[in-house]
């Protein structure tokens, strides 16, 4: 995943944040438009109020003029009492015009309760005036005069006066509303501009702050990674970069930490491998040198005897001893070389097993027979508890190498105490061979480690060897699909248990 850059979608972190900034800018623009619309609409409403006031005022003026016309007609009708029909039609026309004007004004003034109430009263008074006026037209004779006035006409005039008063009050209210609307328009003339500027300022500030915060967070993550890189480059492989956000950068930080952990682990392993290599070179050179020195001494001694012509004078036992020592050292060298070759084969996977059916108890008996002289030489007492008929599919030479190694170790670390070899069938599918010594034992902490290459539980200064024996044992046993383990405690000796699949299991 780390190497597949092409499939990596770098959008949810950087681009997603940039998307947010773009969304904020668009949102700001929309807010600004809404603010501009609302503030402009407020002005438009007030302009509409002014227009409506003018129309209302016109309606009241029309009403007033119509009433004047009606009153003039009434005066004529009341005083002259001629052409009453014509006068009545003129009066009705004026009355109808006044009535329509008030109705029209009523429709226009729905939003203004004060004006509307005045107009309703006006309409009621107009009806009263009309009733009074109709009374004048309905009289056949002139109404009685009281010195200087016609009372019916006076009554009509009184109603007319009230109508004038109401009209005037209505006009004052209409003018006041118009003036208020105009004052509002004048007062708010810069409102759209102000709203636009304020919203723009707010939105731009908000966008800058938000965008800045997003960039700061992004930069914080990047800086965090850069700082971690510097620390790691400085040699601190235990450093863990803090994962700030759950995004690609966070994932990248996590991967970086994982990578550093892996690098640290590889570094430790490499250091350990180098240490082991150095130790091995030291041990190998010592081990290889150990048999060479006596070998060289023996050979030089033989050469010197040959040159002096004294070889023939030596008793055969002496010569045999010298050659035996030489053979022993050569065997040791051969063993060391074989071990190294085996390790190389195992590591490169070139070890070939030639399996055949064999009784493992019989094979153990033969191995012990072969090394019996050495056991006696080192005064080891060996006890065998071998169960016959335990057949295993195995490479005889390799399995023999396994148990020779184990018995060799038992003699090396057994401190001369008895060695026990046991074979048994633990279950129908596996056969177990146990090599038990009663030497110094192996510490629990070392019991896993000793099966590694160049590993040894005891210091190399006290015991020879390359530390490859148990490694080879383990590899060969595992090649046979078996296991090897150790049961040991310090001071009580060690038991190496090799478990191999039985012939029955192999067939299955």
Partner 1 sequence: MRDQLKTNNKILAGLIAIFICFHDLAKAEEIVFIVNAENPIKEMRNQDVVDIFLKKKREWADASGIHFIDRKDGSVERHIFLTQYIGRSDRDIELYWIGQKLYSGNAAPMQVLTDQNAEKMVSTFKGGMSYVLSTYVLGKGVKKIMIQGNTSP
* CB nearer to partner 1: pick between 58 and 248: 58
Minimum distance between the CB of residue 69 and partner 1, rounded to whole angstroms? 19
Q: Compose the 98-137 pattern: x for residues touching partner 1 by CB under 8 A, - for all others.
A: ----------------------------------------
Instruction: Tell me the window of 141-149, 303-311, 361-369, 462-470 that interacts with partner 1 (CB under 8 A).
Output: 141-149
Q: Show Cβ contacts of residue 357 under 8 Å, excluding neighbours closer than 6 positions.
A: 391, 392, 393, 503
3-state SS assignment for residue 129? helix
Q: How far apart are CA 3 and CA 19, in angstroms?
A: 27
What is the secondary structure of 298-362 as a DSSP string? HHHHHHHHHHHT-TTTS-HHHHHHHHHHHHHHHHHHHHHHHHHHHHHHHHHT-----EEEEEHHH
Q: Which is it for the CA torsion 42, 44, 48, 53, positive or negative?
A: positive
- Taking the C-alpha atoms of 455, 461, 465 and 471 in order, what is their torsion angle to the nearest 10 degrees? -10
Least distance from C-beta 203 to partner 1, angstroms?
A: 48
Q: Is 145 or 197 the residue whose CB approaches partner 1 more closely?
A: 145
Q: How many CA atoms lie within 13 A of 247 on its CB side?
A: 16
Q: Is 82 in the site for partner 1 (CB under 8 A)?
A: no
Rg from Cα positions in the chain: 61
Closer Cβ to partner 1, 116 or 253, answer by number: 116
**In the complex, minimum distance from the CB of residue 139 to partner 1, in angstroms, rounded to a whole number:** 15
Structure tokens given for 445: 């902490």
Looking at 86, 103, 124, 158, which residue binds partner 1 (CB under 8 A)? 158
Taking CB under 8 A as the criterion, the residue among 2, 26, 34, 172 binding partner 1 is 172
Segment contacting partner 1 by CB under 8 A, of 152-160, 367-375, 405-413, 480-488: 152-160
Which of 3, 147, 313, 369 is the binder for partner 1 (CB under 8 A)?
147
Residue 237 tokens read as: 């492989």
Give the range of 165-173, 203-211, 318-326, 331-339 binding partner 1 by CB under 8 A: 165-173
Q: Which of 148, 313, 369, 462 is close enough to bind partner 1 by CB under 8 A?
A: 148
User: How many residues are listed for the chain in this entry?
Assistant: 508
Q: Is 160 helix (H, G, I), strand (E, B) or coil?
A: helix
Q: Is 227 in the site for partner 1 (CB under 8 A)?
A: no
Is 157 an interacting residue with respect to partner 1 (CB under 8 A)? yes
Q: Smallest distance from the beta carbon of 136 to partner 1, in angstroms?
A: 13
* Piece of 154-162, 217-225, 465-473, 478-486 that binds partner 1 (CB under 8 A): 154-162
Nearer Cβ to partner 1 (151/443): 151
> Which string of DSSP letters, residue by residue, matches 358-399?
EEHHHHHHHHHHHHHHHHHHTT--EEEE--S--EEEEEHHHH
Indicate which single residue of 149, 212, 388, 416 sits in contact with partner 1 (rule: CB under 8 A).
149
Distance CA 358, CA 391 (A): 5
User: Which residue in 31, 155, 288, 328 binds partner 1 (CB under 8 A)?
Assistant: 155
List, in order, residues 6 or more apart from 333 with CB less than 8 Å away.
288, 291, 292, 295
151 counts as binding partner 1 under rule CB under 8 A: yes
By CB under 8 A, residue 462 contacts partner 1: no
* Least spacing, CB of residue 89 vs partner 1, in Å: 27
Cα four-point dihedral sign 197, 202, 203, 205: positive
Distance from C-alpha of 18 to C-alpha of 211, rounded to nearest angstrom: 8
Binding range to partner 1, per CB under 8 A, among 96-104, 153-161, 389-397, 487-495: 153-161
Question: What distance in Å separates the CA atoms of residue 30 and residue 203, rounded to the nearest whole number?
Answer: 10
Q: Is 168 in the site for partner 1 (CB under 8 A)?
A: yes
| C-beta closer to partner 1: residue 158 or 381 | 158
Contacts to partner 1 by CB under 8 A: 146-149, 151, 154-155, 157-158, 161, 164-166, 168-172
């Amino acid at each position: 995943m780390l190497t597949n850059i092409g499939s990596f979608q770098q959008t949810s972190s950087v681009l997603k944040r940039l998307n947010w900034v773009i969304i904020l800018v668009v949102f700001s623009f929309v807010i600004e438009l809404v603010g501009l619309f609302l503030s402009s609409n407020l002005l438009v409403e007030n302009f509409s109020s002014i227009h409506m006031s003018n129309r209302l005022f016109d309606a009241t003026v029309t009403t007033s003029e119509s009433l004047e016309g009606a009153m003039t007609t009434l005066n004529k009708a009341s005083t002259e009492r001629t052409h009453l029909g014509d006068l009545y039609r003129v009066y009705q026309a004026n009355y109808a015009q006044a009535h329509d004007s008030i109705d029209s004004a009523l429709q226009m003034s729905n939003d203004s309760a004060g004006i509307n109430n005045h107009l309703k009263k006006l309409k009621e008074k107009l009806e009263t005036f009309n009733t009074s006026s109709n009374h004048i037209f309905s009289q056949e004779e002139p109404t009685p005069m009281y010195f200087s006035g016609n009372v019916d006409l006076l009554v009509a005039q009184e109603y007319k006066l009230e109508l004038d008063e109401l009209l005037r009050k209505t006009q004052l209210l209409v003018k006041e509303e118009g003036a208020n609307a105009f004052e509002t328009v004048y007062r708010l003339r810069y409102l759209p501009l102000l709203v636009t500027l304020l919203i723009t300022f707010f939105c731009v500030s908000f966008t800058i702050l938000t965008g800045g915060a997003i960039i700061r967070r992004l930069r914080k993550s990047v800086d965090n990674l850069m700082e971690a890189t510097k620390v790691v480059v400085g040699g601190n492989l235990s450093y863990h970069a803090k994962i700030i956000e759950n995004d690609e950068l966070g994932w990248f930080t996590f991967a970086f930490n994982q990578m550093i952990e892996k690098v640290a682990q590889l570094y430790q392993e490499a250091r350990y491998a180098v240490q082991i290599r150095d130790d091995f070179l030291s041990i190998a050179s010592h081990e290889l040198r150990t048999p060479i020195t006596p070998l060289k001494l023996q050979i030089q001694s033989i050469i010197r005897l040959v040159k002096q012509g004294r070889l023939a004078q030596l008793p055969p036992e002496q010569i045999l001893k010298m050659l035996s020592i030489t053979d022993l050292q050569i065997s040791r060298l051969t063993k060391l070389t074989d071990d190294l070759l085996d390790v190389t084969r195992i590591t490169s996977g070139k070890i070939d097993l030639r399996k055949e059916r064999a009784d493992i108890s019989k094979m153990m008996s033969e191995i012990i027979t072969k090394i019996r002289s050495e056991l006696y030489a080192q005064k080891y007492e060996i006890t065998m508890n071998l169960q016959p008929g335990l057949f295993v599919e195995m490479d005889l030479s390799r399995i023999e190498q396994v148990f020779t190694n184990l018995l060799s170790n038992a003699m090396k670390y057994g401190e001369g105490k008895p060695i026990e070899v046991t074979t048994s069938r633990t279950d129908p599918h596996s056969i177990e061979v146990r090599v038990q010594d009663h030497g110094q034992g192996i510490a629990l902490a070392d019991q896993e480690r000793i099966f590694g290459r160049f590993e040894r539980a005891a210091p190399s200064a006290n015991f020879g060897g390359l530390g490859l024996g148990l490694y080879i044992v383990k590899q060969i046993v595992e090649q046979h699909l078996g296991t090897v383990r150790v049961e040991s405690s310090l001071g009580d000796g060690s038991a190496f248990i090799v478990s191999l699949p039985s012939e029955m299991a192999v067939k299955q």
